[in-house]
Amino acid sequence: MLLAIPAFAQFNNNGNNNNGNNNQGFAGILIDSEGIIETRVLRSGSSALLKRQQEQYVHDNLPEDLVIESPERVLSLRSVEASLKEHLDRGKALPESLVYLGGLQRVDKVVIDPDHSDLLIVGPAEPFAPDSHGRILGIKSGRPPLFLDDLIVVLRSVMSGRNLITCSIDPTEENLANLQ
């Protein structure tokens, strides 16, 4: 029996490209058979170098009070609003301390301060810096801090009277049928 097999002529630099042609390194998301989404990133570079770069970033970009990890950082929404207004009125870029809400990792409590007509959000916080892929993450936890844009979306949703914020990735009927 004679089989025709296609042949491809490619210069591959003696196997020195594409991870030795193993192509094991991919980045993106992986969705397993149970629908669990996992982020995949390529690991590259020296961890000692990355740590020095992150320390320099923290030193250069964060105010002194945000360099310290805190189990319970308190953030005044009134202060956030005033700072946001000040920067926008002057046409200035927002500081990263504002964009990443002081390094808050989550909101554990919301406190009403009637004496100052303020709403306080409270939660653990830590210094943050870009990882090797440019994503802003907490230095200790490796988790992203809360983002000002997300807070604005939540507040708009609450003010609109909607009770839920949801997200759904639904397969098409055709794709479901193809799985059968």
- 148-160, pLDDT tens digit by residue? 998 888 888 877 7
Is-contact 98 87, C-beta < 8 A?
Answer: yes
Distance of CA 56 to CAs 50, 59, 98, Å?
Answer: 10, 5, 19
% of the chain residues with pLDDT over 70: 79
What does the pLDDT average to over 78-86?
94
Helix (H, G, I), strand (E, B) or coil at 122: strand
Q: How confident is the model at residue 162 (pLDDT cuts 50, 70, 90)?
A: low
Is-contact 26 41, C-beta < 8 A?
Answer: no
Q: Look at 1-5, 111-115, 117-121, 125-129 and tell me which has the smallest mean pLDDT.
A: 1-5
Domain boundaries, the chain: 47-163
20 pLDDT higher than 50: no
Is-contact 37 30, C-beta < 8 A?
Answer: yes
- Say what the pLDDT of residue 6 is: 47
Instruction: Give the separation between CA 124 and CA 139, rounded to whole angstroms.
Output: 13
